[in-house]
Each structure stands twice: as C-alpha cells, then as structure tokens.
Amino acid sequence: LRMALRDAGVPVWLRTTMTGLVTDDDGAVLGATLEREGEPVRVRARRGVLLATGGFEHNTDMRDTYLPEGARENHSAGARQNTGDGIRAGEAVGAELAFMDDAWWMPSVRHPAGAVIPLVSERCIPRSLIVSGEGGRFTNESAPYVNFVHDQLAGGHVPAWFVMDAKARARYPFAQVLPGAPFPRAFSEQGIVHTADTVAELAERIGVDPEALTATVERFNTAARSGTDPDFGRGESAYDRYYGDPTLPNPTLDVVDEAPYYAVRIEVGDLGTKGGLVCDEHGRVLRPDGSAVPGLYATGNTSAPVMGNEYAGPGATIGPSMVFGYLAARHAAGITGHTGAAVDTGAGDGPAAPGATGDPRGT
C-alpha cells in the first residue's frame, strides 16, 4: 500500500494528527484541521475526506462509555494510536454511530511485561479446556475468537481459566512459550499461571470450587474418549480442526489426566474495536436520518462493520477496509459502477477554506 501511494505521487505526512473536520454552513465537509510536527495546519480537500483512523481501543473514556462490562479494561493488541479520532470527528459533524459495543474480540493472555498475547491456535490444543470462575465450561473453546468472547461476555466469565495437563504443555506451544519450556517465573509471580499436582488443588489456587472443576474435567475426559463433545460440539467444524492435532480422531479433543496441571488466566482482549461511523455502499458517512454528510467518507474500523456482529474469517478488517476505501475514492472522484459513470459527489470544487494549505490533489 505504501508503495502504491508513492507510485501515485500521493504525499504522506508522518508525525501528523487530525484534530477535526472543516465544514461549511450547510454541514458539508471541506477539509480537516491537523497538527503537523507541533504546528496547526488546515487542509482543503476538494473531493472529500476519507477517514481511516482505526477504532477506539486505546481510548479509555470511549471504552468505558461504549464497551460492555467485562471488556472495558484495556487488553487490546491494536495499534496504540487507535484512539477514536476519526469516529469522534465524524460524530461531531452529525454522523450516526453503530455497533459501538462490539469489537474484534480475542481471548488473550497478558504477558507480565505488559504485552497482550492473542490465543488463536492455543484454544484448539487437545488435553485442555477453558472454564469460568464457577469451574464449568461455557462454550466451544475452539470456536472463532470473536464468537468465543461473545459467549464469555454474555455469561460474565471474566476472567476465564485455560486448564491443561503436563502432556499438553510438553507437546504444544502456548502464548509464545515453546513446547516443554517452563513458563517464565513472572507468570506465576503475577498470578497469570498456576500449577498443581491435582485438579482439585489447581481449583483452589485459582479460587474455583474444587468439586465443580473436578466434575467438569471428568465430563470433558469422557467426551474426549468418545471423540465427540455433546455439550458444545468442539471439533465438529473445519475451523475447529484447522489448528488441532491431526494425529487424533478429533484433532481438538484428548483427555486431561497427566500431572502437573496448569491454569492460565484468560482476559477479554481485542484486535481493535468494531463500532464506528455508519456508511453507505459508496463509503459515504451517513446521518441518523439516512442522508449523507457531503464530502465525508470512512472505511476500516473507523466505520461500522459491514458484517455486523459476525466474524467472517481472517482479514475481516483488512479486506473491507481496502474495498470500501477503493469505493469511496471512486465516488469522491465522480466515478461509480462498473461502467465508470460520473456521479455528483456533493463535495464541489469551491474555494479553499480560509487558511487552507496542502496539496489540492489529495482526496
């Protein structure tokens, strides 16, 4: 993408922050206000402004306002610069917001040094299960990560606990720790990882009812021996099996019966927030009454997700961002449809906003 911008002669300004949008008396967006290397700048956009500033995952106030209880603590792996700037700027000029209570969720482990470690393949490890604070399973551990956390939040299972046995730890990587390698001491010192010689003792160490966890593991082992999961259907889908162990009849199921046992604290993490500005098929930002804000477009996690609360698969943010960025640019340039027919973008080519600077070729 960077090379394409270079080849097209598009200037890229680093160390530049958008501080707001410039509008006329009728609410049409004429440009943006920026802070570039500490200096205020106003840029006139003759064709329109396309917001692609990510979500609000690292904005504490917005997390507290919009995200559900259990997800407000920040365990995000999104870029630190994603603080909702574009979403707030769009809202300030009358845009409608949607899906602000959702995110591209990711069950995660908080590394003692502070980094967020997403758990993708780990949840398909045989000889493991994930339980709530009450000691019971609550969903298919191997399901797509967004679906997993939806179920976790719906049940209030924050935190959850990843339980596995010694053979799982010896065979499979987990949270960037290689198979057979010990967890760094800091994991135990900070209460992220607990170890015990029995399941009941492990339950006591994580504050879970020993009888409940023991019964859950016994039921799970019965299912594992049969190769089926009657409670949640773990291992039935191609997605479940993809990261599992292909040497097993059900790649995601095996008994948890070899000491020592491990419990790892699982946080509600995310790869970015999902909610944002409501847009139409051209990427135009819409008001609550359905009308478009003239001259304003959005894409990526700055816009409300085209697939709603669902998760289509890897690239579910990158693909739509590129597609709707492309559609928005075509519309702003006066091109729409496969025939390349001209359209009225509503932005016009009027005079530059007072004090405007910058390259007028920019969209």
Q: Where do we find the tokens 């939040």?
A: 153
Residues 328, 227: one domain?
A: no
pLDDT at 40: 97
How many domains does one find in the chain?
Answer: 2
Mapped onto helix, strand or coil, the DSSP state of residue 75 is coil
Residue 5 to residue 341: CA distance in whole angstroms: 25
- Give the pLDDT confidence score for residue 342 in this predicted structure: 53
Q: What is the pLDDT of residue 226?
A: 96
What's the rounded mean pLDDT across residues 254-261? 98
Residues composing the chain: 363
pLDDT for residue 315: 87
Same domain, 27 and 81: yes
Mean pLDDT score, 170-188: 95
Q: What mean pLDDT do residues 352-356 have?
A: 38
Each residue's pLDDT tens digit, 147-175 = 999 999 999 999 999 999 999 999 999 99
Domain with 328 in it: what CATH number?
Answer: 3.50.50.60
Cβ proximity of 64 and 72 under 8 Å: yes
**pLDDT-based confidence at 129, cuts 50/70/90?**
very high
Tell me, yes or no, whether 30 lies in a domain. Answer: yes
Alpha helices in 258-354 (DSSP H): 318-332
pLDDT value of position 358 = 43
The percent of residues above 90 in pLDDT, for the chain, comes to 90
Beta-carbon count within 10 A of 113 CB: 7
Q: Of 243, 270, 297, which closes a domain?
A: 270
Q: Is the pTM of this model over 0.85?
A: yes
Region for residue 175 given its phi and psi (left: phi exceeds 0; alpha: psi -120 to 50; beta: otherwise): left
Residue 83 shares a structural domain with residue 134: no
| CA–CA separation, 78 and 269 (whole Å) | 10
Query: In this model, does residue 177 exceed pLDDT 50?
Result: yes
For residues 183 and 315, state if they share a domain.
no
Residue 349 pLDDT class (50, 70, 90 cuts): very low
The whole-number average pLDDT for the span 339-356 is 47
Tell me what the mean pLDDT of segment 78-85 comes to: 95
User: Does residue 159 sit in the same domain as residue 92?
Assistant: no
> Do 280 and 139 have their domain in common?
no
In a domain, 362, yes or no: no
Q: Among all chains, which residue has been given the structure tokens 């990587």? A: 173
Query: What tokens appear for 21 in the block?
Result: 């949008």
pLDDT in tens, 26-69: 999 999 999 999 999 999 999 999 999 999 999 999 999 999 99
281 close to 327: Cβ distance less than 8 angstroms = yes
For residue 237, is pLDDT > 80? yes
Q: What was the pLDDT predicted at 345? A: 52
Give the per-residue pLDDT at 363.
34
Claim to verify: residue 213 and residue 263 sit in the same structural domain: yes
**Residue 1 banded pLDDT, cuts 50, 70, 90:** confident
Task: For residue range 194-235, list pLDDT tens digits in order.
Answer: 999 999 999 999 999 999 999 999 999 999 999 999 999 999
Please determine, for residue 107, whether its predicted confidence score (pLDDT) is greater than 70. yes
Between 314 and 71, the more confident residue is: 71
| CATH number of the domain that residue 243 is part of | 3.90.700.10
Per-residue pLDDT tens over the stretch 310-346:
988 888 899 999 999 999 999 999 987 655 555 555 5
Tens digit of each residue's pLDDT (9 = 90 or more) over 275-314? 999 999 999 999 999 999 999 999 999 999 999 999 888 8
Domain that holds residue 52: 2-102+274-357
